[in-house]
Amino acid sequence: MMKNEITRRNPLKLMGYDAEDILNPGDFGAITARAGVGKTAFLVQLALDKLLRNLNVLHISLGEPVEKVCLWYEEVFRNLAFDCNIKYLDPFWDAILPNRFIMTFKAESFSAERLQERLTDLTEQDIFFPRMMLIDGLLFDENTKAVLVDLKKIAKELGIGVWFSVRTHRHESPRTDSLPPVMSQVADLFDVVLQLQPEGKDIFVRALKGAPREPAGELILDPATLLVRNPVEQAVNCA
């Protein structure tokens, strides 16, 4: 019951997408926002949905230690449970942890080749087989496209989609297709691009590319709880 209540809060389902995971094998999705707006929290919500469905998630953090990534998961998970009036979390938390694997790299030394080496160690020893991959903190610059092309090959071989956080900048105007300029050289590699856009006290969640066929209306990322919800709701009812 607890799993059903929390998985109803999958951000993609709340936005009106037909499936819990809208990326096909080899597809890329991006969460774009300025620094500190909530990209990691959004990625963690996508990951928790998979974990609660007993599917393996590989979370790759560039520049952040494992301990900090773990704190993100704990905070978002407990906020979800609190919103759904769920108690006695520890048994469920302990049950999903084996489905999560966190890798960290220094941002400047990350490469698809290094990732492939570590993935090979995991899979050839039957340690971990990911069904979703998150890459948080990849620097998007003039050298990124070559890395993404190689990462797409890895994703296709594994048969999984990959979600990225993409840091944008306040002073840059969007392109004519609404995508941030930082993605100019790599936009063709992404199937879905979601934006976290601060407006006043709210952070709106919007689809810039690959929008749902029937959008469910505007949603916000609550800065207090880090959860996606309807902006007109005073409280989320998970019943």
Greater model confidence, 98 or 217: 98
Determine contact, residues 190/152, Cβ cutoff 8 Å. no
pTM of the model: 0.93
Greater model confidence, 4 or 166: 166
In this predicted model, what pLDDT tens digit does every residue of 180-204 receive, in sequence order? 999 999 999 999 999 999 998 899 9
DSSP result, 33-64: E-TTSSHHHHHHHHHHHHHHTT--EEEEEESS
In this predicted model, what pLDDT tens digit does every residue of 1-47 receive, in sequence order? 566 777 778 899 899 998 778 999 999 999 999 999 999 999 999 99
**Residue 219 one-letter amino acid:** L
Determine contact, residues 163/30, Cβ cutoff 8 Å. yes
Structural domains of the chain ordered from first start: 2-201 (3.40.50.300)
